[in-house]
Amino acid sequence: MHYIYKIQNIINGKVYIGQSLRPSARWVQHKYKAKNIIKRRPFYLGVIAQLFIG
């Protein structure tokens, strides 16, 4: 069975719609990727620093 899911950013309201056979496993994957994006893309560290440090 396929599942359709929605993830909404509570800060900016952006919405992501996806599908998965195993939504709980997909949620774990989303969280892992979000947490580790800075390790894979150092550019984002500068962007985040500008947003939160000023």
Q: Model confidence over 12-50: pLDDT tens digits?
A: 888 889 899 998 898 888 777 777 765 666 665 556 555
Are 11 and 24 in contact by the 8 Å Cβ rule? The answer is no
pLDDT of amino acid 20: 92
Is 8's pLDDT higher than 90?
no
pTM as predicted: 0.53
Distances 14 to 2, 8, 10, 17 between C-alpha atoms, Å: 23, 6, 8, 10
Q: 6 by DSSP, 3-state: which?
A: strand
> Is residue 54 very low, low, confident or very high in pLDDT (cuts 50, 70, 90)?
very low
What is the rounded distance in angstroms from the CA atom of residue 12 to the CA atom of residue 3?
25
Mean pLDDT of 9-14: 82
Sketch the domain layout of the chain as residue ranges: 3-52
